């Protein structure tokens, strides 16, 4: 069942990918450009953005810091000069594995500022225009780590859970106004963030595979775009379990 308008023809569509300097965001921007979209890319790393525009003629870049509301608002004003967006994809993210016996408050707050606060800054900048137009699509990149509590995810997991909840509420608010909403919840993807992990990452995908899955989800009109299915189906099942079963299973499987 399609919950959103199906996005299948990207030719001439205006797309803004925030968090496009590397990883999933860069791969998604590249895939959208290849399919004919007019792509804007944003992140803090201006040099990486410039390299993207050189490799993808016709794309445009504007640097920003998602933790700075004014920086995001200024970037949105620049990007929107050519018209309203057909897709805004928020990929900016911060991740550091953490457990309670090594709690780092500055790192916790950094996760909140980038993953949650940054998303709010983008939404505040683009929603008014989308609501006026009565069209467009907002896609938030979360993680299966947001489905349920996992070891080493003390700072990261709660922020991704917040994005899933935010996406659900946002869908209820804006879908009747003509705006699509999706939440992307990948498993492990080979990015600079996951490169720091010191544990085995099952079903590890490349950023290009992640981007392909995202485009398939947008084409199907999905709200929840989770992949790879062989991995995420397990987490969907775990979401249904009562705590009395869930906690022992996770402890046994992870050694937590």
Give CA–CA dist 92/131, Å, rounded. 23
Active site residue 156: yes
Catalytic residue among 95, 156, 243, 246: 156
Yes or no: say if 122 and 43 are a contact pair by the CB < 8 Å rule: no
Q: Supply the residues annotated as catalytic.
A: 156
């Amino acid at each position: 069942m399609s919950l959103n308008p199906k996005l299948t023809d990207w030719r001439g569509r205006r797309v803004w990918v925030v968090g496009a300097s590397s990883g999933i965001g860069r791969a998604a921007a590249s895939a959208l450009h290849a399919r004919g979209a007019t792509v804007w890319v944003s992140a803090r790393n201006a040099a990486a953005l410039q390299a993207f525009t050189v490799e993808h003629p016709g794309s445009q870049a504007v640097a920003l810091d998602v933790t700075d509301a004014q920086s995001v608002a200024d970037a949105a004003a620049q990007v929107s000069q050519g018209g309203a967006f057909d897709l805004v994809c928020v990929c900016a993210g911060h991740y550091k594995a953490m457990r309670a016996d090594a709690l780092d408050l500055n790192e916790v707050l950094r996760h909140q500022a980038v993953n949650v606060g940054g998303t709010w800054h983008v939404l505040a900048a683009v929603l008014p225009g989308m609501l006026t137009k009565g069209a467009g699509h907002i896609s938030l990149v979360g993680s299966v780590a947001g489905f349920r509590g996992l070891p080493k995810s003390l700072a990261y997991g709660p922020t991704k859970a917040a994005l899933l909840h935010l996406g659900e509420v946002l869908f209820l608010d804006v879908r009747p106004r003509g705006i699509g909403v999706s939440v992307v919840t990948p498993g492990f993807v080979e990015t600079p963030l996951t490169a720091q992990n010191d544990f085995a990452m099952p079903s590890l995908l490349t950023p290009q595979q992640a981007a392909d899955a995202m485009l398939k989800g947008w084409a199907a009109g999905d709200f929840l775009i989770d992949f790879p299915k062989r991995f995420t189906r397990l987490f969907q099942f775990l979401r249904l379990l009562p705590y009395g079963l869930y906690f022992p299973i996770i402890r046994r499987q992870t050694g937590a």
